[in-house]
Chains A and B, each alone.
Chain A
Amino acid sequence: MTFFMQMLVSGIVVGSIYALVALGFVLIYKASDALNLANGEFVLIGSYICLTLVTALKLPFLVALAVTLGVCGVLGLLVERVVLRPLLNAPTISVIMATIGLGNLLAGLVHMVWGHQTRVYPNLFPNTPVTFGEVLITPVYLWSFIIVMALLLAFTIFFKFSKMGVAMRAVADDLQAAASMGINVKRVFAITWAIACIVAAVGGVLLGNINGVNATMSVIGLTVLPVVILGGLDSIPGAIVGGFIIGILQSMAGGYIDPLVGGGLKEVFPFIVVILILMIKPYGLFGRGGMERV
């Protein structure tokens, strides 16, 4: 039972980070109907920038984090302006491929600048594990969970009540109607990309604190795809619920099935789940299927 609880807790924590990264995907899909396969590289870049600021420039963590988020926001604006805007009316596959190309470009840049070795964040949180009953939790995990929850809550409120959030939802719902009501669609797109990039950077900083930073971290961009699809590409609650479901399932698969098949199932398991779910609900758990007319 303790083992089960341990797996459950670590699944929930990893799931919360998945939910955060998945949020980046959903934001971009909602605003511009594109799937951003460079999201993993955004995570990576955010993590490296913050690390460099903390270790090389010796900035205090919170200042470094603020600077990182600022830089990543600008990066998001830049990417939207240079790569995505020319492809506004391009077919789905072109947009996917453009973001894959962007991912390659950014990964190349990161490898050139920072190399391949794993680097570790200085200890920001105390190291002694906290115990709840018989379950051990490292403070890093606990803090990550709290930060992610706070961010997800903040975003939900932002989308429900702020003017920009409402404009974003309007654009997502019907681009032409939103534009004709006087919403500056280009501005909404740009801000969406900036926010998505910032969200990814937060995920990167948290992951970096947990595991250290190296080039393989960008894999999270692919790992999170089942989360997004499971929840539904256009649903923010879907991203959150999907994140927890996949996180917990993955952790359970790692704990219980991996020893039987000799490891490695942990990475594939979310994809198997997603294929099965899609057979029953083709738009994920919370996604909306559009009506089609000829």
Chain B
Amino acid sequence: MKNPFVMECGNYKTKYEKDMAIFSIKRVKIRMLGLAILAFLFPLLADNYVIGLATLCAIASIGAIGLNILTGFTGQISIGVGAFLGVGGYTSAILTSTLGLSFWVALPVAGLITASVGALFGIPSLRLKGLYLAIATLAAQFIILFIISRWTGLTGGTSGMVLQRPSIGSFSFMSASSYYYLCLIILLFTIVYALNLFRSRTGRAFLAVRDRDVAAEIMGINLFTYKVLSFAISSFFVGIAGALLAHYTMIVSPELYSITVSIQYLAMILVGGLGSILGSILGAIFITLLPVGLGFVMDYIAVYMPDMQNTLAAFHELAFGAVIILFLIFEPDGLAHIWSNIKHYFKVWPFSY
């Protein structure tokens, strides 16, 4: 009778603690643990290319969760994530390569520096709303990139900087799977933090600001504090993702952090689902793997139409745009919503209601 795939059913909560619990019943907890263990065992079965993709997905998930805290949960639109990734990456590069500090110091410092830059550009958010704020963050994107590419003495200008993979003692995270584990562990921390954030006073204040900021202010929420705080927390994770990415690719240069990257991150949280941690991860995986999937499709087509290879980049662009539009029109709540629909379907299966 103890079928592990049976869904929880009904809503019989009698205490507030139960309502706030992350795992509603024990079986869900076991299932989540199983999922985490699967993620840990996965490199044993896969080859380096697949592990590399998984690492990129994990890093993107950290950044997407960060952005979702700001945009999905607090309702502040940001089109400047790309530049904030750059701040994280460059901070880590300068600290480890130029100053010779350890990666383990540089990573949190990169997060903190990005958080303070994010908070700085979040200050206008008190007076700006919606589209005006979106443009202000877009301005942040251009200004930060300009500083990065012009401050040659610090950042190496357009030629960029070279980084090393981190190490503990004599053990270096050179191999694909070891770096994957590092990113996965940080991702798990991020998930746990984000899940708990929205059970706390701060997180609920964020939700109130999103839903109706004037009402929130009347109820005693200090808008300025919480808006800037959400920019800081969000940028912290984006900065961590940026630093991890920089040490993964082992190079930083201005063109890696263009407006395209910002748009990709926005696409991740929209395709995944605004205001959903699970959605951020699903979206990050989807958008990271989309070019890979399209590559397969193109290889298949190229057999019949050899000159199609030249238009590959254009085809990526076109497909990316089409995917976003289709998602927005047909599934505005994103992959997270599709997933919950599937779950609901099986909850009552084989009956339809």
Contacts and interface: CB of A to CB of B under 8 A. Distances in A.
Contacts of A91: 274
Contacts of B319: 108
Interface string B269-284: 0100010000000000
Interface stretch (A44-52, A56-64, A69-77, A221-229): A221-229
Interface string A105-144: 1111101100000000000000000000000000000000
B317 interface: yes
A86 B329 contact: yes
Interface string A89-111: 01111101110111111111101
Interface stretch (A147-155, A184-192, A241-249, A259-267): A259-267
A98 B332 CA distance: 11
Contacts of A293: 214
Interface stretch (A6-14, A158-166, A193-201, A277-285): A277-285
Interface in B24-39: none
Nearest to A219: B259
Contacts of B212: 294
Contact of B328 (A90, A109, A262, A284): A90
B329 A282 contact: no
B3 to A, nearest CB: 39
28 contacts: A35-B131, A90-B332, A92-B131, A93-B71, A93-B266, A96-B134, A97-B324, A100-B266, A100-B321, A101-B267, A105-B318, A107-B321, A108-B316, A108-B319, A111-B311, A112-B315, A226-B139, A229-B135, A264-B150, A265-B146, A268-B142, A271-B142, A272-B139, A274-B136, A278-B132, A282-B132, A294-B212, A294-B214
A226 B323 CA distance: 28
B314 A112 contact: yes
A112 B315 CA distance: 7
B270 A97 contact: yes
Interface in B48-83: 71, 77
A94 to B, nearest CB: 5
A105 B135 contact: no
A202 interface: no
Contacts of A98: 324-325, 328-329
Chain B CB within 10 Å, residue with most, of A261, A282, A293: A282
B138 A97 contact: no
A101 B327 CA distance: 10
Contacts of A225: 135, 138
Interface in A208-255: 222, 225-226, 229, 233
Interface of A: 29, 35, 83, 86-87, 90-94, 96-98, 100-109, 111-112, 222, 225-226, 229, 233, 261-262, 264-265, 267-268, 271-272, 274-275, 278-279, 282-284, 292-294
Q: Which 8 A-B residue pairs are closest in the complex by CB-CB distance?
A: A108-B318, A104-B321, A105-B321, A101-B324, A111-B314, A108-B317, A271-B139, A282-B127
A275 B124 contact: yes
A45 B281 CA distance: 36
Nearest to A104: B321
A104 B324 contact: yes
Interface of B: 71, 77, 124, 127-128, 130-132, 134-136, 138-140, 142-143, 146, 149-150, 212, 214-215, 218, 259, 263, 266-267, 270, 274, 311, 313-325, 328-329, 332
Given A87-B329, A98-B324, 19 more contacts: A87-B332, A93-B274, A96-B131, A104-B263, A105-B318, A107-B314, A108-B315, A108-B320, A111-B313, A225-B135, A226-B139, A271-B143, A272-B139, A272-B143, A278-B124, A283-B132, A292-B214, A294-B214, A294-B215
Nearest to A273: B139
B267 A97 contact: yes
A29 B132 CA distance: 12
Nearest to A262: B150
Contacts of B131: 29, 35, 92, 96, 233
A101 B318 CA distance: 9
A129 B135 CA distance: 38
B329 A97 contact: no
Nearest to B138: A225
Nearest to B326: A101
A94 B328 contact: yes
Nearest to A34: B131
Contacts of B138: 222, 225, 271
A271 B140 CA distance: 8
A45 to B, nearest CB: 14
Contacts of A226: 135, 139
A83 B134 contact: no
A25 to B, nearest CB: 10
Contacts of A96: 77, 131, 134
B128 A278 contact: yes
A97 B266 contact: yes
A226 B134 CA distance: 11
A229 B128 CA distance: 11
A233 B128 CA distance: 13
A267 B77 CA distance: 23
